[in-house]
Amino acid sequence: MPSEQDLSADVVIVGSGVAGSSIANELARAGISVIVLEAGPRVDRQHFVENFRNLENKPSYQGPFPSVPWAIHPPNQMTPNDYLHTTGPDAEAYQQVYLRMMGGTTWHWAGCAWRYLPSDFELKTRYGQGRDWAVKYEDLEPFYYQAEVMMGVCGPDPAVEDLGSPRRQPYPMEALPISYAAQQFRKLVSEKTPYRVVHEPQARNTRPYDNRPTCEGHNNCMPICPIGAMYNGSYSVYHAEAAGAHFVPNAVVYKIERDSANKRVTAVHYYDPDKGSHRVTGKYFVIAAHCIETAKLLLVSADEQSPDGIANSSGHVGRNMMDHTGVQVTFISGDKALWPGRGPLETNVIDNFRDGTWRNERGAYLVHMVDDNQVDLATSLAISKGYVGRELEEQIRYLASHTVRLFSHNEGLADPDNRLTLSQTHKDVLGIPHPEVYYKLPEYTVKSCEHTRGLFRELIGLMHGTDEQWTPGYFPQDHPAGSTIMGTDPRDSVVDGFCRTHDHENLFIASSAVFSSVGTGNITLTVAALALRVADTLKKELAHA
Amino acid sequence: MPDLARKILCSVLTAGTALVTLSMAPARADEPSAELLARGEYVATAGDCIACHTRPGGKPFAGGLSMTTPMGNVISTNITPDPDHGIGKYTEQEFEQSVRHGIRRDGSRLYPAMPYVSYSGMTDEDVKALYAWLMHDVKPVAETPPATELNFPANLRITMAVWNLVAGSTTPETGDSATFDKLRRGRYLAHALEHCGTCHTPRNMMLTEKEGSYLAGASLLGWYAPDITPSKTGGIGNWTEDNLVAYLRTGHVNGLSQAAGPMGEVVEHSTSHLTDADLHALAAYILQVPAMDDDVDHTPREQFGQVLNTPDIRTGELTRIDRLDEMDGQHVYDANCAACHGDNGAGTDDHYAPSLFHNGVVGSARPDNLIMTVLHGVDRTAGNEHAFMPGFDQKSDVQRLSNAEIASVVNYVMTTFGSGNHNVTAEQVGTMRSGEATKVP
Amino acid sequence: MAADRSCFPTNIHLASPNAMRMRRALRMSRRDMLLGAMGAAVVALGASRPGFAATEEADPVVPLFLAVSQRLTDRDVLDPQISHALYAGIIHANPERREQIHKLHDLMASGSFASARALASAAEHSDPVFKDVIHEIMTGWYRGVADQKVVVYRSALMFDITKDAVYPKTYAAGGPFYWTQTPPEVAVPTGEPALSPSKFVVEPT
């Protein structure tokens, strides 16, 4: 039953994840009126914890989050998929997962909080590959720090371990002490290779911070931290609400309305779960709906004035789909018991290959030794081998204590042919098309992965590893980027260095969709930094208005 | 004003002018010695001035903390040496009048939220040292907190004169308090400085401490300050002196209890900084005051409960993300508490998260402190340890529980690990959510 | 964030991901249904387990299942509540298991099997179907799973075996920074399997 209800605010934000909520929080604290429209529902932690414990397939990170029908997110990473339909020679490598609900996808991330390197922003200039951003590292530096304070990031003292991203302030919290397993790995790498293992910067409390507890090592960062020691977007939602921002859950935006000159955005329209339509007006609009849904929304809003979608005079909306892919191997270490799975999931990294002159030929990467509890997997394996009773128990102990898993983030590259479009055959219950992505891995990334395999073979040898199992093919790492790419030239980019769309001066995008390269670090801290910069821009413009 | 009151007022005012034992001139000429300043700082710590005279996020001693009393909210004053906003113009004598007699420089009376009845026991030397330290070492802050406005008739400060007569006062101790023998020192600390009785002694209708019930336990509108006499059934009679010293120094003793709320602040700001000798003196004194049995705690609070060993049989079903149905007590516990306190209630191996059995809070017959802890959490720093438990109230970033859920989980915890089911209701929790001695920024 | 693709395919690691999935699909039909249903309206909390009702009226196989389980885990004492719940799940998934468990118990009672290995080996030799039955019993007790559902999580024996080193996810009881300490050493196991090996099936995520 359609109904019209006018909501209005100075700034209207689509999406309540880390990007949208951090902007809402900044603006509300500055006294600016804000409405945030979130497609999914309000949620809470305790039900996710119970869902996780009841979940049979625990490695399924989407598992504890069965979506609502009016805002479906991909149910799993399987191709073919019930929602995100991927095609192309490397379709499986783009089978992203994300969450459509209040607080967004950071409900189930690992908390890795890397700053990009200065060279990540200048890939084209320095290495002749990919594209340059329209913003430099130094411009973003203060916002990186602001994001680190907002999330509560712990990291190593640069005087002790310099991660290559210059910083003016120390990390808000001291680095997380790594587990015994990680210490042994670090020692081995330091003594037997020319590489190093560094403390990964993490959005995780190494002391009580922001009224949330210290990490206790539940090893469940993905899919759900049971105690709130790790940052997720819901905290920014709460803070923004306390500061006066108005959040509307179950509001699926389906149309971006512009004025008759097709210059300024005048409103967005959303459906409630009963398909009642509502119009929301404002002075500024920010789409912060995750790389996939942001591009989808711009395309879905196509009309006679903008037949190719909103803000798409360049034709690049939905193009340049990037991600990290990676190499993964699991093996049994032949040396002392390591017992991975004690402490948080991702804490230590080999970072020697994040940058270098070879980047003119192959992509950069970083390597994690994952601290993941292997007990369940070891049990399944040992049962399949035919063990029972006492022998089974010995096998479980041995396998769980000696299994090592390495994986890498290898950088993708902006290729306009890697493209998101609207499905012609699948629609959701509101009649909105599902997203489709065509993906072919850049050669740059394939070569990078080959190099990583070499490194992994070296490490397996050093650890006297046996029973290696390499994950076949290429897999997604849920760091999608580039779908509304940033650039100085409106003919081949969607937004400028401030994340303002070239086509509409009052429309901004706060998402990894704007990334011009994907670097090697996990994307969330950069997403947050860019979002905080959008907030800064909006505050300045609204103050002058 | 009533005739009797006027007569009393006149006699008190007359008596007041005769109190000229200290210098009238502002003590500015001489630079105080380092020993005096150190002593003053220690006295301030033992007296825990900072706890009330600083608001959360505020500058030290600049006031602004709002304390809920049955008469309304009392807001603490700025006692930094700022001349216009604080006590910068106070002479030493005027300062003594405030601290030991509850009379301000302008002659008006302080509300006994300022525990001058207790501080009246301070020695002259300690008052002098405290004055010197506040005036010399504390940074002046040019902020005046809001004025206290209580409900009638308490808004008439003059009525405090009458109250003071009922409350009585303590004769100041004499001599050098640092040289007192152990029990005398412990008594001095307990009465004149730490003012334990202010919270732990029940009050009568006039809201003065009840005679003969010293430390027998009292409600603080939300939190409950338990019986800490050496009663073996209702108090802490089974604690050793070392137990109590450890509790006061660190805020927790595994298998006994842990401090949160106002007592957590006492540990953080005051007792964790006392010398070892002083802690033993204070503990020894407390453990020999007259034992007072409790009305409802008849078994020592820390003796209840044991580890729970039951299998976690589950449904294996998942709920859709928008289904936020209230859970029953056992499920609320499993989903929120078990991660730190253990499905078995044993806490963490290092007792960072305490066990819930053999826990004085869970074993009390009064659910007050457990409800308050679930609502507000724990945030207590002592020495190098920062103990933290998130709260689960409507401001929580971790999980916001409803009144019914908190009631259910409190009942579950007390039944499973404590003194039994006290049938806490959602309404009770609702009252406590709003009614505690809150800090208002 | 990495897709969790820990794989130990015993002889299929050279196959394409899709081929792997198709082979799994034959085994995973119920699993796929459940995954597909996740986007739609979901089951209510606390739904009663159908298996239980069937066993409420003193099913004589219930204690036999417990006895067989004790032998097959080489443990003298197992929790009867967990036993009942696992049994209910196993026969709900496959009603024929009830008879098979009965027969397995008969086999056990007929001989004197001094170890889990001895019983399991003899069982598979006597009837290949017992291999599947024993797999389900192992999966039930050690992984806490029956009928492709979690029956117990932290009470699964796999966590009991490893509790001196790691905690079940979300139940870490070590306090902050426990993970920096040195965990126990584990000797290389020397025991032999009892049953013939099977393909190691990793569920897709």
Predicted complex: ipTM over 0.90: yes
Please state the φ and ψ torsions of residue B74, each to the nearest 5 degrees. Answer: -100, 130
> What part of C 9-38 touches B (C-beta under 8 Å)?
38
- In this complex, the residue of B316, B323, B342 whose CB is nearest that of residue C173 is B342
What residues of A act catalytically?
479
How does DSSP assign A383-441, residue by residue? HHTT--HHHHHHHHHHHHHHEEEEEEEEE----TTSEEEEEEEEE-TTSPEEEEEE---
Q: Which of C45, B72, B356, B128 is nearest to A50 (CA)?
A: C45
pLDDT, tens only, A339-363: 999 999 999 999 999 999 999 999 9
Task: Write out the two tokens for A227.
Answer: 């105690």
Greater confidence (B116 vs A457) lies with: A457
Greater confidence (C8 vs B35) lies with: B35
Strands A34-37 and A6-14, by their bridges, are: parallel
pLDDT, tens only, A169-212: 999 999 999 999 999 999 999 999 999 999 999 999 999 999 99
Amino acid found at C136: E
Q: What is the pLDDT of residue B331?
A: 98
pLDDT, tens only, B247-260: 999 999 999 999 99
On the question of pLDDT at B362 being above 60, the answer is: yes
Q: What is the pLDDT of residue B354?
A: 98
Task: Write out the two tokens for A334.
Answer: 């032949």
- Angle between helix axes C96-110 and C80-93 (nearest 10 degrees) is 130
For residue B124, give every residue at least 6 positions away whose Cβ sits within 8 Å of its Cβ, in sequence order, or none: B21, B22, B96, B172, B174
What's the CA angle centered on A344, arms A354 and A337, to 5 degrees? Answer: 95
Number of other residues whose CB lies within 10 A of the CB of residue A355:
18
Q: A242 to chain B nearest CA, in Å? A: 9
For residue A446, give every residue at least 6 positions away whose Cβ sits within 8 Å of its Cβ, in sequence order, or none: none
Chain A residues with CB under 8 Å of B332 CB are 46
Q: Which of B256, B252, B265 is nearest to B352 (CA)?
A: B252
**Residue B321 touches chain C, beta carbons under 8 Å:** no
DSSP B301: G
Amino acid found at C9: P
Selected for mutation to probe chain A from B389, B395, B397, B406 (highest A CB count within 10 Å) is: B397
Q: What is the pLDDT of residue A208?
A: 98
Sign of dihedral through CA atoms A81, A87, A90, A93? negative
On the question of pLDDT at A286 being above 60, the answer is: yes
Instruction: Tell me the pTM.
Output: 0.90
> What part of A 194-233 touches B (C-beta under 8 Å)?
207-208, 210-214, 216, 218, 226-228
Radius of gyration of chain B (CA): 23
Check CB contact under 8 Å for B318 and A63: yes
Q: What is the CATH number of domain A19-543?
A: 3.50.50.60
Percent of chain C residues past pLDDT 90, beyond the cut:
69
- Please tell me the distance from the alpha carbon of residue A272 to that of residue A40, in angstroms, as a whole number: 10
Q: What is the pLDDT of residue A545?
A: 65
Confidence label for B70 from pLDDT (cuts 50, 70 and 90) = confident
Q: What value does the mean pLDDT take over residues B389-417?
A: 98
Q: Which of A74, A116, A99 is nearest to A17 (CA)?
A: A99
Chain C residues with CB under 8 Å of A473 CB are 16-17
- Where are chain A's structural domains? 19-543
> What part of B 358-377 touches A (C-beta under 8 Å)?
377
Mean residue pLDDT of chain A comes to 97
Q: C13 to chain B nearest CA, in Å? A: 31
Check CB contact under 8 Å for C5 and A336: no
> What part of A 23-42 touches B (C-beta under 8 Å)?
40-42
Check CB contact under 8 Å for B397 and A238: yes
* B136 is annotated as contributing to ligand binding: no
Check CB contact under 8 Å for A101 and B399: no
Nearest chain B alpha carbon to C160: B311
Number of other residues whose CB lies within 10 A of the CB of residue B395:
12
pLDDT, tens only, B171-221: 889 999 999 999 999 999 999 999 999 999 998 877 788 889 999 999 987
Beta carbons of A137 and A163 less than 8 angstroms apart: no
Q: What is the pLDDT of residue B69?
A: 75
Q: Which of A316, A309, A288 is nearest to A103 (CA)?
A: A288
Check CB contact under 8 Å for C165 and A477: no
On the question of pLDDT at C40 being above 60, the answer is: no
- Please tell me the distance from the alpha carbon of residue B252 to that of residue B300, in angstroms, as a whole number: 17
Q: Which string of b and e fits A107-131 if b means at least 16 CB within 10 Å?
A: bbbbbbbbbbbbbbbbbeebbebbb
pLDDT, tens only, A292-310: 999 999 999 999 999 999 9
Q: What is the pLDDT of residue B28?
A: 52
Check CB contact under 8 Å for C170 and B339: yes
On the question of pLDDT at B14 being above 50, the answer is: no
pLDDT, tens only, B216-228: 999 987 899 999 9
Q: Where are the alpha helices (DSSP H) in B66-140?
A: 92-101, 116-119, 124-137
Confidence label for A143 from pLDDT (cuts 50, 70 and 90) = very high
Q: What is the pLDDT of residue C11?
A: 35
Q: What is the pLDDT of residue B16?
A: 41
For residue A534, give every residue at least 6 positions away whose Cβ sits within 8 Å of its Cβ, in sequence order, or none: A23, A286, A498, A499, A508, A510
Helix (H, G, I), strand (E, B) or coil at B49: helix
3-state helix, strand and coil shares in percent for chain A, rounded to the nearest 5? 30, 20, 50
Q: What value does the mean pLDDT take over residues A460-471?
A: 96
DSSP B144: -
* B196 is annotated as contributing to ligand binding: yes
Q: What value does the mean pLDDT take over residues A33-40?
A: 98
Sign of dihedral through CA atoms B223, B224, B230, B232? negative
Task: Sketch out chain B's domains with CATH numbers.
Answer: 31-152 (1.10.760), 301-433 (1.10.760.10)
On the question of pLDDT at B25 being above 80, the answer is: no
Nearest chain A alpha carbon to C196: A386
